[in-house]
């Protein structure tokens, strides 16, 4: 295979390119809908294709639990299992080290869990995480890492970082398939010296891409933006840069401006399930549950061409939420994914045309105005 990541053009620090895997090539910058359990909640594969998805994400920990990686391997791998035949990236289970703190214990060798499903004792190591991901047959596997909470002190974060680096080396050493791309993950909280140390160390290892972990875990947004102001540029220029678990459309525009290439977040589908629709115009989002929409015959977004906006009014979708019909969350999830992926296409186009600075300023002003009105 030729060079996996290629940068076709740059505009400031923003880059437009593509990354090639065994199951196809996706353009960058890009956004991955999150299919934690081998499904994007409420959205089938045909809809994912229609909205412009090029790469999606599954979760190692959850598929290890149910139905089990051996079963998925025996059934032909996760692509066949869920009928998505484009590129798939898998989280390593590292986020569960953060999110399941009450039922896990971290040691040098790995993480002891009590299964959130049935209470079984589990032990996830860096080696087993890669083994599971290769059994699933994903295109991009993430190293197992410890994601420290945003409020940890410097000394504790530094200790965690050193172990994460050791785990990263062990993850790389356990790869058996040449077709598995493995990405390293930087940590270090919001401490610039630790982030710098992490970037320097991981850059010495032969990863296929670099991820930025440990952001959007409870720290103030301005702290996240502070890290993004310097950290992406510390990573190797010739490797794809992935910001894990982030975030709002505003966050994506900001991170691309700083040199990030790839994103994932549950926000478009989770927001859709709770009635929030991301839209264009002066206000970046609306809550369809609000009574003001009950007699509104306009679509969610007049400029949007998604399935939802082509066929249904705000009043109808408001009704679906009021009577708790599952179609409401499904339609909003589809709409929000279209909003995100259309944003990605606009970002790619702006970079190619050398006007990303202009787009960046317009989007930041739009969100700032909305924040001021909400205050």
C-beta of residue 256 within 8 angstroms of C-beta of residue 352: no
C-beta of residue 241 within 8 angstroms of C-beta of residue 261: yes
Cα angle, residue 84 at apex, residues 83 and 85 outer, rounded to 5°: 105
Q: Is 118 a catalytic residue?
A: no
End-to-end CA distance of the chain: 52
Among 4, 56, 7, residue whose Cα is nearest residue 25: 4
List of E strands, 111-178:
111-114, 121-124, 140-142
Catalytic pick from 261, 264, 301, 342?
Answer: 264
Tokens 């009928």 locate to 83
- Is residue 93 packed enough to be buried (19+ CB in 10 Å), middle (13-18) or exposed (0-12)? buried
For the record, the structure tokens of 146 come out as 């410890």
CA–CA dist 16, 116 (Å, integer):
40
Helices (H) and strands (E) in the chain, counts: 15, 16
Catalytic pick from 91, 208, 261, 342?
Answer: 91
CA–CA dist 124, 284 (Å, integer):
40
Tokens 């270090």 locate to 188
CA–CA dist 127, 116 (Å, integer):
22
Dihedral of the CA atoms 274, 275, 279, 281 (nearest 10)? -120
For the record, the structure tokens of 176 come out as 């058996």
Among 34, 16, 6, 1, residue whose Cα is nearest residue 238: 6
Neighbours of 43 (CB within 10 A): 22
CA–CA dist 75, 275 (Å, integer):
36
CA–CA dist 22, 350 (Å, integer):
28
For the record, the structure tokens of 369 come out as 């105005």
Q: Is 173 a catalytic residue?
A: no
- Residues marked active site are found at 91, 264
């Amino acid at each position: 295979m030729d060079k996996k990541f290629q940068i076709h053009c740059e505009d400031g620090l923003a880059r437009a390119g593509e990354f090639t895997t065994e199951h196809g090539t996706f353009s960058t910058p890009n956004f991955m809908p999150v299919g934690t359990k081998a499904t994007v909640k409420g959205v089938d594969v045909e809809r994912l294709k229609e909205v412009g998805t090029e790469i999606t994400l599954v979760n190692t920990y959850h598929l290890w639990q149910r139905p089990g990686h051996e079963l998925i391997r025996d059934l032909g791998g996760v692509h066949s299992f869920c009928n998505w035949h484009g590129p798939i990236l898998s989280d390593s289970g590292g986020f569960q080290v953060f999110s399941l703190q009450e039922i896990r214990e971290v040691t040098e060798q790995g993480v002891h869990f009590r299964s959130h499903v049935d209470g079984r004792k589990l032990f996830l190591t860096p080696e087993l995480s890669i083994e599971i991901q290769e059994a699933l047959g994903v295109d991009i596997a993430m190293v197992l890492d410890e994601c420290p909470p945003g409020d940890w002190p410097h000394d504790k974060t530094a200790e965690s970082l050193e172990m994460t680096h050791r785990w990263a080396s062990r993850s790389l050493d356990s790869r058996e398939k040449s077709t598995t791309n493995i990405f390293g993950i930087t940590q270090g909280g919001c401490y610039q010296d630790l982030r710098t140390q992490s970037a320097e160390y991981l850059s010495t290892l032969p990863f296929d891409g670099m991820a930025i972990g440990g952001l959007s875990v409870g720290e103030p947004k301005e702290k996240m933006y502070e890290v993004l102001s310097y950290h992406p540029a510390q990573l190797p220029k010739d490797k794809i840069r992935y910001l894990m678990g982030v975030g709002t459309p505003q966050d994506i525009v900001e991170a691309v401006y700083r040199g990030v290439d790839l994103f994932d977040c549950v926000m478009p589908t989770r927001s859709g399930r709770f009635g929030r629709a991301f839209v264009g115009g002066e206000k970046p989002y609306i809550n369809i549950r609000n009574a003001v929409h009950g007699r509104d015959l306009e679509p969610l977004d007049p400029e949007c061409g998604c399935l939802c906006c082509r066929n249904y009014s705000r009043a109808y979708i408001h009704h679906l939420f009021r009577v708790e019909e599952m179609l409401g969350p499904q339609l909003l999830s589809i709409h929000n994914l279209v909003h995100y992926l259309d944003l990605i296409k606009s970002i790619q186009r702006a970079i190619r045309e050398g006007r990303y600075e202009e787009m960046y300023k317009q989007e930041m002003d739009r969100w700032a105005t909305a924040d001021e009105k909400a205050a």
